[in-house]
Amino acid sequence: MDQALPTSGTYACHGITWANGDPRLLLAPVTGGPLVYAAVTGRRLGYQVSGTGRWCTGRYRFADRVRVEAVACPDRAPAEAGGQCAACTGRDDFRFAHRFHAGGHVPDALVAYMAQPHWLYLATFADGTTKIGTAAEARKRSRLNEQGALIATYLGRSADGRAVRFLEDALTRRLGLTQSVRAAAKLTALAEMRDLAPARTAHQQHFGRATEALSGLNVPAAPEPWTPPSEGDLMRTPETGRALYPHDPRSGEHGLTVLSFLGSQVLATLDGDGGQLPYLLDLGTLKGWRIVLDAQFSSPPAAVQTALF
C-alpha cells in the first residue's frame, strides 16, 4: 500500500528500505508511534536536518519464522556504537545473523529464521566491482534491490542460512571477492559511468569463476538472473546525464524531486533547475539523523554544475 510522504513533523530517519517491494523512506516520528514507510519516487522531498548528533535507529525483530521487521527505538534515544542505543542493541537478536555459522550464542528465533532456504548471489556495480552476498528466501528480491547494483545473478539456492554462509566465505577466499561495497564508492561509480559494457564484462568474468569454484566444491551452480526494479531505469542508463549533488544531505535544508532510485542512491532535480542535469545523492546517508519535513525547504543554489559525458 502506498504511504504518503508526511508534509510536516520531525522524524528520526531510518534510511531507505525496499521491504515493501519499492523504495521507501523509513521514518520514526520523534513523538512516538509506528514507523512510517513513505514512498518518495516521483515526489518532492523537502526537509531540514535537525541538530548535529545521530539517533538510535531501533532494531529488527522476528515477525514470524521467516521474516524480520524494523522497530523504532521506544525511547527515541541518542545513538551509541553501531547506530543503536544500548537498550535496542541488547534486544536485537538479528545482530547475531552475520556470525551465525561461526558458532557462539544463537537465539532460538534466529535459529528458526536461518532454517529457511537462502540464496547466494553476485552483484556488480557501475565501476565493475563485484560482491558476493546472501539473501534469505523471504528477502530474495528486496535484499538485492537495496544493494544498488547494475547487474546481479543468483548463483543458487541453499538449504539454510548456515550452508549459504559457508559458501559465501569459501568464494571470498578462493576468488578474492568482497562481501561489502561502500555506499560512497557506489555513488562515485554511478557519477562516472559512461558505458554499461565494463560492468557487464566484469560480471560475466566473476560469474564464470564463481560457477567453476562452486563446481570444485561439489555444489553445482543453478543460476537465475535478477530482474532490476524499474525505479532504477534512469540511473542504469549512461545516456542520462547526471552530476554529484554539491551539498551534504546531512546538514542544512534541501528540496528535491526524486526521479529514480538505485539502492539508496537517487537521481533528483532541484527547484527551478529547468534544463539542468539531475543530481546524484545517497539518501541512505540520512540514517540516524533527525529531519524536519516541510514543503517550504529547498536546496541552496549550486555555484557550478558540470555536465558529465
| Per-residue model confidence as pLDDT tens digits over 7-34 | 999 999 999 999 999 999 999 999 999 9
- The whole-model pTM stands at 0.91
Contact 7, 294 (CB under 8 A): yes
Report how far apart, in Å, the C-alpha atoms of 9 and of each of 2, 6, 17 are: 19, 7, 20
The torsion angles phi and psi of 115, rounded to 5 degrees, stand at -75, -15
Report how far apart, in Å, the C-alpha atoms of 66 and of each of 22, 147, 157 are: 20, 21, 16
Rounded to the nearest 5 percent, the helix, strand and coil shares of the chain are 30, 30, 45
Residue 221, sorted as left (phi over 0), alpha (psi -120 to 50) or beta, turns out to be: beta
Q: Cell digits for 63?
A: 515477525
Q: Rounded CA gap, 144 and 123, in Å?
A: 8
Report how far apart, in Å, the C-alpha atoms of 276 and of each of 234, 269, 279 are: 16, 8, 9
3-state secondary structure (DSSP) of residue 199: helix
pLDDT at res. 240 = 86
Q: Rounded CA gap, 203 and 197, in Å?
A: 10
Q: Rounded CA gap, 54 and 288, in Å?
A: 5
pLDDT at res. 3 = 81
Q: For the chain, which ranges sit under pLDDT 70?
A: 1-2, 96-104, 272-275, 303-309
pLDDT at res. 304 = 47
pLDDT at res. 38 = 95
**Where exactly are the structural domains of the chain?**
113-232
Q: Cell digits for 159?
A: 538449504
pLDDT at res. 186 = 96
Q: Rounded CA gap, 127 and 198, in Å?
A: 7
pLDDT at res. 98 = 67
How many other CB atoms are found less than 10 A from the CB of residue 71? 19
Report how far apart, in Å, the C-alpha atoms of 24 and of each of 13, 19, 105 are: 11, 8, 33
The burial of 272, by beta-carbon neighbours within 10 Å (0-12 exposed, 13-18 middle, 19 or more buried), is given as: exposed
pLDDT tens digits, 173-200:
999 999 999 999 999 999 999 999 999 9
Q: Rounded CA gap, 64 and 83, in Å?
A: 25
Contact 12, 290 (CB under 8 A): yes
